[in-house]
Amino acid sequence: MSLPTLMSKVQTLQTSLQAKAKAEPAFRFYSLWDKVYRTGVLRVAYRGCRANRGAPGYDSISFKQIEDQGWDEWLERLQQELRVGGYQPQPLLRVWIPKAQGGQRPLGIPTIRDRVVQMAVLLVLGPVFEVDLLPRQYGFRPGSDAKMAIRAIHFGITQRGKREVVDGDLSDYFNTIPHGELMRCVSRRVSDGTGLPVIRKWLKVAVIERDERGERRTTETKDKQRGTPQGGIISPLLSNLYFRRFLLAWQKFGFGQRLRAEVVNYADDLVILCPNGCGEKAMAAMRHLMSRLGLIVNEKKTRLVKLPDEHLDFLGYTLGQF
């Protein structure tokens, strides 16, 4: 079948899954795995991974090697494994990259094989969870970008008169997300007996670090029962899914109404727009809820900004001096 046809078939699948999720907010999808290993989904997933032109993982197998050997046969073998349930994720390759503000960030690079499977799962699960994510979550989402988040903040400041802004930052967010709680977020929509264990394995796979002396194997996420790999294809979605819990708690405990405080979220960054006199309370409430969620508020980077005297730096923009 031609590539455009496969693409449209995948899109049709995605829109129907999303429509189902939208129509039934409490529906749990019980047969998602059989969609993950559909030929169309796997081919689109492979192509999507290749478009990134990313480096190989632990097994050192590159896109070129896969294609020299025959990529459709490679995909068929993978499909067979996924179908009979023999699929096991390979370890992640640890690479340290320098951060912009200094320090180093640990990447966990999956093998291309695991990246393709994760992409296939994202193609299927993404449209489902997209329905559940909240409007003020702007990071990592189709059709949304940093500029929209900035516009929302700007609107809150100028049109709604919010003059106290909590600039919140979480320390090492991806690596601190608790597995149990996260899997509960996934299980709210997914009851698939094959898919859920695979996602859990992705969270818990070993990490291989290479240096001059050789290889070192660690099982940090399995031991701490926390963290989603920085480099995993579904990690951004999972991070949004877990941050949603904070926003739901914010709603549930009535901080939005009581303090008239609106939260805007982009990945691990958040801003709380508050009227005069509410900023300190909102910041304290945020700290409390975050610790309840097992997350670490970065005290050095979290602060209360009082406009218009002070300004706010967020997502590469500076707000407050108009």
Partner DNA sequence: TTCGATGGCAC
C-beta of 137 vs 166, nearer to RNA = 137
The dihedrals phi and psi of 40, each to the nearest 5 degrees, come to -60, -45
100 in contact with RNA (CB under 7 A): no
3-state SS assignment for residue 68: helix
Residue 95 near which of DNA, RNA, none (CB within 5-8 Å, type-dependent): RNA
CA atoms within 13 A on the CB side of 90: 17
* Contact pattern from residue 247 through residue 286 relative to RNA, giving x for each residue in contact according to CB under 7 A and a dash for the rest: ----------------------------------------
Shortest spacing between CB 90 and RNA, in angstroms: 13
Shortest spacing between CB 286 and DNA, in angstroms: 16
Only one of the segments 191-199, 253-261, 262-270, 272-280 lies at the binding site for DNA (rule: CB under 7 A); that segment is: 262-270
Query: Residue 169 pairs with which residues in a beta bridge?
Result: 269
51 in contact with DNA (CB under 7 A): yes
For residue 307, CA distances in Å to 246, 280, 310, 312, 320 come to 25, 14, 5, 8, 6
Only one of the segments 105-113, 165-173, 190-198, 290-298 lies at the binding site for RNA (rule: CB under 7 A); that segment is: 105-113
- CA-based nearest residue to 248, from 184, 171, 313: 184
User: Which helix (H) or strand (E) segment is 296 a member of?
Assistant: none
Distance of CA 32 to the CA centre of its chain: 19
Distance from C-alpha of 48 to C-alpha of 45, rounded to nearest angstrom: 5
C-beta of 56 vs 91, nearer to DNA = 56
Distance from C-alpha of 304 to C-alpha of 107, rounded to nearest angstrom: 31
Q: Please pick, from the candidates 121, 266, 282, 283, the single residue that binds DNA as defined by CB under 7 A.
A: 266
Only one of the segments 15-23, 35-43, 94-102, 190-198 lies at the binding site for RNA (rule: CB under 7 A); that segment is: 94-102
- What angle in degrees, to the nearest 10, is found between the helix axes of 179-187 and 235-252? 90
Residue 199 near which of RNA, DNA, none (CB within 5-8 Å, type-dependent): none
Distance from C-alpha of 283 to C-alpha of 259, rounded to nearest angstrom: 11
* Contact pattern from residue 44 through residue 73 relative to RNA, giving x for each residue in contact according to CB under 7 A and a dash for the rest: ----xx--x-xxx-----------------
Q: Please pick, from the candidates 59, 140, 155, 172, the single residue that binds DNA as defined by CB under 7 A.
A: 140
- If one counts every other C-beta atom within 10 angstroms of the C-beta of residue 12, the result is 11
135 in contact with RNA (CB under 7 A): no
Residue 10 near residue 123 (C-beta atoms within 8 A): yes
Q: Please pick, from the candidates 50, 105, 200, 260, the single residue that binds DNA as defined by CB under 7 A.
A: 50
3-state SS assignment for residue 207: strand
Shortest spacing between CB 70 and DNA, in angstroms: 18
164-169 and 269-274 beta bridge pairing: antiparallel
Q: Please pick, from the candidates 65, 131, 132, 140, the single residue that binds RNA as defined by CB under 7 A.
A: 140
Strand stretches in 153-275, DSSP E: 164-169, 207-211, 214-218, 262-266, 269-274
Which residues lie below 8 Å from residue 288, measured CB to CB, with a gap of 6+? none
Shortest spacing between CB 48 and RNA, in angstroms: 6
Q: Please pick, from the candidates 78, 124, 149, 233, the single residue that binds RNA as defined by CB under 7 A.
A: 233
Site of interaction with DNA (CB under 7 A)? 3-4, 7, 47, 50-51, 53, 139-140, 146, 236, 266-269, 315-316
Site of interaction with RNA (CB under 7 A)? 48-49, 52, 54-56, 95-98, 107, 109-110, 115, 119, 122, 126, 140-147, 230-233, 235-237
